[in-house]
Amino acid sequence: MNQQNFPVQVAPLESCREPGPEERSMLRKVLDRVGQYCQSRSLFVLHYCTGCGAIELPPSMTSRFDLERVGMQPMVTPRQADILLITGYLSVKTLKRVILTYEQMQSPKYVMGFGSCTINGGMYWNSYATVKRLGDYIPVDTYIAGCMPRPEAIQQGFLDLIERIDGGRAVAWKDYYRNYDRYLGHQQHLFGRDWLTPTDVVGEAAHYRLAGDGTLGPHTALLDQYAGYHQAWGVPREQYAELEASS
């Protein structure tokens, strides 16, 4: 990682490292364990229902299968949610919203890809407008195969996720901070090089000591380059052309 080229400074890697299990004090270990257990037993779900799979959610939530038994509750804003449930295919346009939503959620956060569309494009595999692999753009914890998966499969997926959170193995969200450059690269490939989100992921990674080797790179450098030209989104066409020519 070559830091001189980037105006955004991330603290040197050594201090960015999380303390390993053997370095933690006894109290810290106990607290972490309690936290982990509570995180696995209380999950607030944000449904992103643009795909057809959403129709299988009401039966899983209501009296037939009742997911509240395992502590799952629907929530309405990304700030409050733990699980982002992507219920099916995403078009290029809706993927933007998913990324904005994902970045607003508070870690630890989990993403669940729902149906074969999120895995490999499903029956839209040759469509020009849909996203083929969700895992390229945001880190996904669990996929549920099927077109569409039945409530039993959905429940099994949730139970698996709960088990992995309890065991401390559901850490895909850390990957987003550690390898932000790679995810951002895929996003820029779809949305253009001036793609920018309101959440400062690099800053967050540095603040919470989650940065890794792949946090900064050529793609995050583009982020800085275009940030000056942006107010929110969308650079005026002429400016964009100038930039394209100069770079």
Partner 1 sequence: MDFDWQHMLIELLVMPTLAFVVGLVMVLMARRLRARIERRVGPPFWQPLWDILKLYSKRTQVSHGHMHEISIIVLLGGMIAMEVFLPVPGFDTFAHHGDALTLIYLMMVPTLGMALGVSACANPNGSIGIARALTAMLAYDVPFIITVAGAAMLYGTTSLPEIIAIQQQQGLEGWGAVQMPLLALAALISMQAMLGKEPFEIYVAPAEIATGPMTEMSGKFLGSMFIMQCFQLYTVSVLYTTLFLGGGENWATFLIKIFVVVAIPMTLTNIFPRYKTEAVVAWLWKWPTAIALVGLFVVMMR
Give the binding range for ligand SF4 (CB under 6 A) out of 47-55, 167-175, 176-184, 188-196: 47-55
Q: With CA atoms as reference, report the closest residue to 221 among 190, 181, 187, 186.
A: 181
Should residue 113 be labelled a site residue for ligand SF4 when binding is judged by CB under 6 A? no
Should residue 157 be labelled a site residue for ligand SF4 when binding is judged by CB under 6 A? no
What's the rounded Cα separation, in Å, for the pair 86 and 140? 10
* Residue with Cβ nearer partner 1 (70 or 145): 70
Q: Which does 122 bind (CB under 5 to 8 A by kind): ligand SF4, partner 1, none?
A: ligand SF4
Q: With CA atoms as reference, report the closest residue to 10 among 1, 20, 23.
A: 1
Using CB under 6 A as the binding criterion, the count of chain residues that bind ligand SF4 stands at: 12
Query: CB of 29: closest distance to partner 1 in angstroms?
Result: 14
C-alpha R_g of the chain: 19
- Residues lying near partner 1 in the complex (CB under 8 A) are found at 31, 34-35, 37-39, 41-42, 62-63, 66, 68-69, 71, 76-77, 79-80, 82, 106-108, 204, 208
Of these, 40, 98, 110, 116, which contacts ligand SF4 (CB under 6 A)? 116
Q: With CA atoms as reference, report the closest residue to 107 among 183, 204, 213.
A: 204
Of these, 47, 60, 88, 205, which contacts ligand SF4 (CB under 6 A)? 88
Q: Which does 217 bind (CB under 5 to 8 A by kind): ligand SF4, partner 1, none?
A: none
Provide the 10 A C-beta neighbour count for residue 239: 13
Strands (E), the chain: 43-48, 72-74, 83-86, 110-114, 142-144
Q: Which does 42 bind (CB under 5 to 8 A by kind): ligand SF4, partner 1, none?
A: partner 1
What's the rounded Cα separation, in Å, for the pair 173 and 208? 13
Instruction: Give the list of residues 6+ apart from residue 102 with CB closer than 8 angstroms, or none.
Output: 78, 84, 109, 111, 138, 176
Q: Which does 68 bind (CB under 5 to 8 A by kind): partner 1, ligand SF4, none?
A: partner 1
Of these, 16, 43, 45, 53, which contacts ligand SF4 (CB under 6 A)? 53
Should residue 48 be labelled a site residue for ligand SF4 when binding is judged by CB under 6 A? no
What's the rounded Cα separation, in Å, for the pair 140 and 173? 8
* Position of minimal CB gap to ligand SF4: 88
Residues in region 89-108 near ligand SF4 by CB under 6 A: 89
Distances (CA, A) of 142 to 170, 199, 237: 9, 24, 39
Q: Is the dihedral of CA 196, 198, 201, 206 positive or negative?
A: positive
Which residues of the chain form contacts with ligand SF4 (CB under 6 A)?
A: 51-53, 88-89, 115-117, 122-123, 147-148
